[in-house]
Chains A and B, each alone.
Chain A
Amino acid sequence: MELDRRSFVKLAAMAAATAAANRAPTASAATGPAQPGVSWDKAPCRFCGTGCHVQVGVKGGRVVAVAGDPEAEVNRGLLCVKGYHVGLALYGKDRLTRPLLKQGGRQVPISWERAIDVIADRVEADPKGFAIYGSGQWTIPEGYAAQKFMKGGLANNHIDPNARLCMASAVTGFLATYGVDEPAGCYDDLDHCDVLINWGNNPAEMHPVLFSRVIDRRSRGDEVLIIDISTRRTRSTAHAQHYLEFRPHTDLAIANGILHQLIANDSWNREFVEKHCAFKADSDPPGLHGRSISFDEFKQAVAEYTPERVEQISGVPARDIRMLGDLFGRRDVRITSLWCMGMNQHTRGTAINTLVHGVHLLSGHFGRPGDAPTSLTGQPSACGTAREVGTLAHLLPGGRLVQNAEHRKQAEEIWNLPEGRIHDEMGYHTVKMFEQWSKPAAEGGDISTLWVQVTNPGQTMPNRHKLFDPGVADPDKFLIVSDVYPTPTTAGADLVLPSAMWVEKNGIFGNSERRTQQWFKMVRPPGEARDDVWQTIAVARRLHERGYPGMKDKDGRFLFHIERDGGGPEPIWDWRRFREVNVDRALFEEYRAFSRLKHKDLAPYDVYVASRGLRWPVVEQPDGTWRETRFRFSGFDDPYVAEGQEFDFYHSPTKDGRAQIWFRPYEAPPESPDADYPLWLCTGRVLEHWHTASMTMRIPPLRRAMPNAYVEMHRDDARALSISDGEVVRVETRRGTIDLPVWIEGRGAPPRGTVFVPFFDESRLINDLTLDAHDPFSKQPDFKKCAARVRRIGEDANA
């Protein structure tokens, strides 16, 4: 019998591999590989923002197999090392299965009834001091429910996602350039580009399935030039023809150098720019939309960034700056730029984002397949939930702003709320929220209760000691954490709520290329773990039962009213009933009304059920089908560009259909190496672990492959300190200290004067050392650079 099963498994594995190798869906593509007793259904992967689809095999109530989905355009049947292990993320032995309340210094099990009461008590005691910190791992309905609960129910805008730590500068970059968030292009650009430029980006490890699309093209004989502009060599560098190593923070000088070259060589795309672009520079006082300037002013501003001057600032040879300028000046090649945390986690994050958009706009490398400036995201629904649902402290769903009276009115109408319910002040952004929570009330810390859902700030907040450690707060502060596994955040929690994850619940994500992806629950969550969206609705209902006025709409109905078939409210706050009703469908259909307000149209829920995701705007056709959009603002594809126009930036900040080309000067970073702290410290991720590794450390092959954090050092720096490979050393900054083994010429290779430490290891919290300085517009902290020193353990720092 076992032999039979194994034979079947091998046949299924070969069928999946053959389908993927041929890049052609097979008969089994829609139903999953044939395997006795195993039922298959589609879901997007739980991990990064790429949005690969997997086929999930379920047997006996458990996920037993995973296959790449050959019908999915994103990954065409392929998976990365994390993706093919994703099913095992559900089965770590220490899943949280019961609510836990801290009593007498210990977390003790309590009932859900009691847990919901505790939260409702905290809200009633101080509704203005209640905050929610969520994430780009929230499903769209989860984020939407939390958003409506806070902004529509409590009239409180203190809700922000961890996406603030990873892509907020991309958002402000898009807004300042196009007046609307998210990339114009899509992954199809990777199939058409002649040149791929990675700006401080390592897709070979962080978005491997996307990178393999380009490598696969090369194996087919396509010529694709890869340029790696980075502060350290990575696995991506190994595939690049050009590696341009720059001094940390000086990427702004490089981008300005390209802009200068385009003008100096008169190779900028005059026709495109004159028809479709305008110029901007910083205003005084600074504002996201700055001030308009003329082309001559722009030309004068970038004039100082000659190749020689850029070499002086950045360390990148002048000949390489000329090479970049020449490439962008060519009309016969198509250029795609990709970036992620390297450009976003930057105190000049908004500035460098706008500059890279500007390089593409000034050169006209925009809007044709393969010509695109594209930011990637690290979380599966950073775009779908954080950006589109608008769970940031200043936003409402659909790109609406809480400070705009008309936008608030629109939201109040869709939510059927009394006029004036939504508060008109921005809530606290992430760093501020944690400052106000960790600061004692007597000193002005006005966040009294913080509910963390689907994320792990106890490991990820910069300058962690200051912002997070529970000891910093006064005893009246209260931390609620909904999660699936114990983490450094749950360890400090007053109340822990066990959550369902991934295919234990219904869900919808939105990936990096505007693709909205739906899946159904397939297995039951363990023990008493429950969906995050249920947790939010249950608290709202408890407050409603207690007569809290914000939990009613203007007709007196419950804030999350769903009409039961045959009339009357559906009691979705009752867990048993919740599991029987598709609450996602109801919330998504309500949310869709917002999506049309900024041309990010979503199709009905059931259209996503039948697809592997669609890229918005998704517009209904005369024949009743729904058409997605691959290239926004381009007349040949975007339905919102008027007939006959080649391009139209229809959300232009200058309201004239033009995108903005910015001048943003290079400025020195907030902290640089000095005599006491002579090294740059850069932090980041690794291939095997997803972010803080709370899931991937429970997957044995991944844990074995990368069991602990390390510090990458240049051989000469190590030699100068008499440090040998593998030796445990002390890494210090002005904010903290950590002991780590040294890795010389390991996975990545930093240049002399730089060290790199990954942040996945909860037993070695590198964020005790990082800087909480942040970008003035996006409020995104800079995790990529601060001043550090390394010394042998036992040696005096001043010796």
Chain B
Amino acid sequence: MPVLGLVVVLEDARAETRADVAARLAARAELSGLSLGEAAAHRWPAVLEGGSAREIESRVELLRTLPGVAGVDVVYADFEDLLARPPAAVSSELHGEG
């Protein structure tokens, strides 16, 4: 999934928690494709992009397990890139063989 819109749900709404999570995010090179929006209390909107669906999946999973994060909700997914590839590549990706 090339681009995902996410809501990162923090364990609480404290500024310290937000700062701790931000620091952990900055320290993880794997999460460099993550752009954060303006947090609304304990909910933090974000956009995650990656080169391949597999990359994106592992990044979401990493986010979920980060200390201070209670959960990650996906709210938007664009998969046009996946469908727009040549037929052979599409079928390989769509069937998990890639």
B49 neighbours in A (Cβ, 8 Å): 6, 10
> Across the interface, do A212 and B9 meet the contact criterion of CB distance under 8 Å?
yes
> Across the interface, do B75 and A93 meet the contact criterion of CB distance under 8 Å?
no
Closest chain A residue to B5 by CB distance? A13
Select one of A15, A62, A67, A212 contacting B71, CB under 8 A.
A212
A122 in contact (CB, < 8 A): no
In Å, the complex CA distance between A93 and B83 comes to 12
In Å, the complex CA distance between A35 and B78 comes to 10
15 A-B pairs whose Cβ atoms sit less than 8 Å apart in the complex: A9-B78, A17-B75, A18-B37, A21-B37, A21-B45, A22-B40, A23-B43, A68-B76, A79-B75, A88-B79, A215-B71, A216-B9, A220-B41, A220-B42, A698-B94
In Å, the complex CA distance between A59 and B83 comes to 11
Within 8 A of A (CB), among B53-75: 53-54, 57, 70-71, 73-75
Seen from chain B, the residues whose Cβ lies within 8 Å of a Cβ on chain A are 1-7, 9-13, 35, 37-47, 49, 53-54, 57, 70-71, 73-80, 82-83, 90-91, 93-96, 98
The verdict on A67 contacting B75 (CB below 8 Å), with A13-B3, A93-B91, A700-B98 known, is yes
In Å, the complex CA distance between A378 and B56 comes to 28
B43 neighbours in A (Cβ, 8 Å): 20-23, 216, 219
Closest chain B residue to A87 by CB distance? B79
> Across the interface, do A705 and B57 meet the contact criterion of CB distance under 8 Å?
yes
In Å, the complex CA distance between A480 and B44 comes to 50
Q: What are the 8 closest A-B residue pairs judged by CB atoms, nearest first?
A: A13-B5, A17-B45, A64-B80, A16-B76, A21-B43, A703-B96, A17-B5, A68-B75
A119 in contact (CB, < 8 A): no
B9 neighbours in A (Cβ, 8 Å): 212, 215-216, 219
A33 neighbours in B (Cβ, 8 Å): 76
> Across the interface, do B53 and A701 meet the contact criterion of CB distance under 8 Å?
yes
A13 neighbours in B (Cβ, 8 Å): 3-5, 47, 76, 78
> Across the interface, do A81 and B74 meet the contact criterion of CB distance under 8 Å?
yes
Closest chain B residue to A35 by CB distance? B78
> Across the interface, do B94 and A91 meet the contact criterion of CB distance under 8 Å?
yes
A792 in contact (CB, < 8 A): no
> Across the interface, do A14 and B37 meet the contact criterion of CB distance under 8 Å?
yes
A19 neighbours in B (Cβ, 8 Å): 75
B54 neighbours in A (Cβ, 8 Å): 701, 704
B53 neighbours in A (Cβ, 8 Å): 700-701
B39 neighbours in A (Cβ, 8 Å): 21
In Å, the complex CA distance between A57 and B38 comes to 25
In Å, the complex CA distance between A360 and B34 comes to 46
> Across the interface, do A14 and B83 meet the contact criterion of CB distance under 8 Å?
no
Closest chain A residue to B38 by CB distance? A18
> Across the interface, do B46 and A17 meet the contact criterion of CB distance under 8 Å?
yes
Count A/B pairs, Cβ under 8 Å. 164
In Å, the complex CA distance between A219 and B69 comes to 10
A14 neighbours in B (Cβ, 8 Å): 5, 35, 37, 45-47
> Across the interface, do A219 and B70 meet the contact criterion of CB distance under 8 Å?
yes
A85 in contact (CB, < 8 A): yes
> Across the interface, do A65 and B79 meet the contact criterion of CB distance under 8 Å?
yes
A699 neighbours in B (Cβ, 8 Å): 94
Known: A21-B40, A67-B76. 12 other contacts (CB 8 A): A14-B46, A14-B47, A21-B44, A22-B40, A57-B78, A65-B79, A77-B7, A83-B74, A93-B95, A219-B10, A219-B43, A699-B94
B57 neighbours in A (Cβ, 8 Å): 701, 704-705
**Closest approach, in angstroms, between the C-beta of B74 and any C-beta of chain A?**
5
Select one of A78, A218, A221 contacting B7, CB under 8 A.
A78
Select one of A20, A22, A64, A92 contacting B83, CB under 8 A.
A64
Q: Scoring A residues 755 to 775 as 1 if CB is less than 8 Å from chain B, else 0, what string do you get?
A: 000000000000000000000
In Å, the complex CA distance between A148 and B2 comes to 46
In Å, the complex CA distance between A209 and B9 comes to 13
In Å, the complex CA distance between A92 and B47 comes to 27
Closest chain B residue to A38 by CB distance? B80
> Across the interface, do A17 and B80 meet the contact criterion of CB distance under 8 Å?
no
A23 neighbours in B (Cβ, 8 Å): 40, 43
Closest chain A residue to B14 by CB distance? A221
A548 in contact (CB, < 8 A): no
Q: How many residues of A contact B (CB 8 A)?
A: 54
> Across the interface, do B73 and A78 meet the contact criterion of CB distance under 8 Å?
yes
Select one of A12, A21, A212, A219 contacting B11, CB under 8 A.
A219
**Closest approach, in angstroms, between the C-beta of A500 and any C-beta of chain B?**
19
> Across the interface, do B95 and A92 meet the contact criterion of CB distance under 8 Å?
yes
Seen from chain A, the residues whose Cβ lies within 8 Å of a Cβ on chain B are 6, 9-10, 12-23, 33, 35, 57, 59, 62, 64-68, 77-81, 83-85, 87-88, 91-93, 209, 212, 215-216, 218-221, 698-701, 703-705, 707
In Å, the complex CA distance between A17 and B76 comes to 7
In Å, the complex CA distance between A66 and B40 comes to 23
A62 neighbours in B (Cβ, 8 Å): 83
> Across the interface, do A704 and B75 meet the contact criterion of CB distance under 8 Å?
no
Closest chain B residue to A55 by CB distance? B76
In Å, the complex CA distance between A221 and B10 comes to 11
B74 neighbours in A (Cβ, 8 Å): 68, 78-81, 83-84
Which residue of A12, A215, A700 has the most chain B CB atoms within 10 A of its CB atom? A700
> Across the interface, do A219 and B5 meet the contact criterion of CB distance under 8 Å?
no
A77 neighbours in B (Cβ, 8 Å): 7, 75
In Å, the complex CA distance between A12 and B4 comes to 10
Select one of A9, A87, A91 contacting B3, CB under 8 A.
A9
In Å, the complex CA distance between A81 and B4 comes to 11
Closest chain A residue to B6 by CB distance? A17
**Closest approach, in angstroms, between the C-beta of B86 and any C-beta of chain A?**
13
> Across the interface, do A12 and B76 meet the contact criterion of CB distance under 8 Å?
yes
B37 neighbours in A (Cβ, 8 Å): 14, 17-18, 21
A215 neighbours in B (Cβ, 8 Å): 9, 70-71
**Closest approach, in angstroms, between the C-beta of B15 and any C-beta of chain A?**
14
A12 neighbours in B (Cβ, 8 Å): 5, 76, 78
**Closest approach, in angstroms, between the C-beta of B94 and any C-beta of chain A?**
6
Closest chain B residue to A77 by CB distance? B75
Closest chain A residue to B10 by CB distance? A219
Closest chain A residue to B53 by CB distance? A701
> Across the interface, do B94 and A700 meet the contact criterion of CB distance under 8 Å?
yes
Closest chain B residue to A70 by CB distance? B75
In Å, the complex CA distance between A87 and B75 comes to 13
The verdict on A18 contacting B13 (CB below 8 Å), with A67-B5, A67-B76, A78-B7 known, is no
Which residue of B6, B9, B78 has the most chain A CB atoms within 10 A of its CB atom? B78
Closest chain A residue to B60 by CB distance? A81
Select one of B71, B93, B94, B96 contacting A707, CB under 8 A.
B96
A216 neighbours in B (Cβ, 8 Å): 9, 42-43
In Å, the complex CA distance between A6 and B84 comes to 14
> Across the interface, do B75 and A65 meet the contact criterion of CB distance under 8 Å?
no
Closest chain B residue to A703 by CB distance? B96
> Across the interface, do B13 and A84 meet the contact criterion of CB distance under 8 Å?
no
> Across the interface, do A17 and B79 meet the contact criterion of CB distance under 8 Å?
no
> Across the interface, do B83 and A10 meet the contact criterion of CB distance under 8 Å?
no
In Å, the complex CA distance between A209 and B7 comes to 13
> Across the interface, do A212 and B83 meet the contact criterion of CB distance under 8 Å?
no
The verdict on A78 contacting B70 (CB below 8 Å), with A10-B35, A219-B42 known, is no
A93 neighbours in B (Cβ, 8 Å): 90-91, 94-95
Closest chain B residue to A94 by CB distance? B95
> Across the interface, do A85 and B83 meet the contact criterion of CB distance under 8 Å?
no
**Closest approach, in angstroms, between the C-beta of A268 and any C-beta of chain B?**
37
> Across the interface, do B7 and A21 meet the contact criterion of CB distance under 8 Å?
yes
In Å, the complex CA distance between A209 and B76 comes to 14
The verdict on A91 contacting B6 (CB below 8 Å), with A10-B49, A220-B42, A700-B98 known, is no
Select one of B2, B42, B93 contacting A700, CB under 8 A.
B93
A80 neighbours in B (Cβ, 8 Å): 74
Closest chain B residue to A216 by CB distance? B9
A66 neighbours in B (Cβ, 8 Å): 76-77, 79
In Å, the complex CA distance between A92 and B96 comes to 11
A704 neighbours in B (Cβ, 8 Å): 54, 57, 96
> Across the interface, do B80 and A65 meet the contact criterion of CB distance under 8 Å?
yes
Closest chain B residue to A78 by CB distance? B73
Closest chain A residue to B73 by CB distance? A78
A67 neighbours in B (Cβ, 8 Å): 5, 75-77
